[in-house]
Amino acid sequence: MKQGAQVGKFGDHIRGLREKRAGFDSAFSLRQVATRCGITPAYLSRVERDEVPPPGEETLVKLADELDEDRDVMLALAGKISSDLRAVILARPRLFAELIRALKSAPEHAVLRIVREVRDGDW
């Protein structure tokens, strides 16, 4: 059951990260990663083969931490956003929709400049 905009990419990404680490550290076998993330090895295997939709946010965050991946990147590849970002967007949906649509076609350097200005409080 493949879903989302990143069909075929999510499972490949997870498997690639895990197998890369497993190549030099046996603690990253499918079974051990699944156990540390609180899921069954069979389920993780199915996720890696894109046979099931990506897991929920809590499990995705655990996988991201386990595989040394950015949490927001992991969620985005799964077609999701974090609950904290969802709350921010829902607080001002019209404004954030307008902002995101305007940024969609902006060059990377322009978006980075805006992020830095907001983060640094340089209004």
- 21, 51: one domain: yes
User: Could you read off the pLDDT of 63-117 as tens digits, one per residue?
Assistant: 999 999 999 999 999 999 999 999 999 999 999 999 999 999 999 999 999 999 9
Residues 48 and 15: beta-carbon distance below 8 Å: yes
**pTM confidence score:** 0.80
Is 2's pLDDT higher than 80? Answer: no
Residue 57 lies in a domain: yes
30-37 and 57-66 helices, crossing angle to 10°: 130
pLDDT of 9: 87
pLDDT of 8: 55
For residue 53, give the CATH number of its domain.
1.10.260.40
- 76, 104: one domain: no
Is 4's pLDDT higher than 50? Answer: no
- 32, 77: one domain: yes
Quote the CA–CA distance of 83 and 60 in Å, as a whole number. Answer: 12
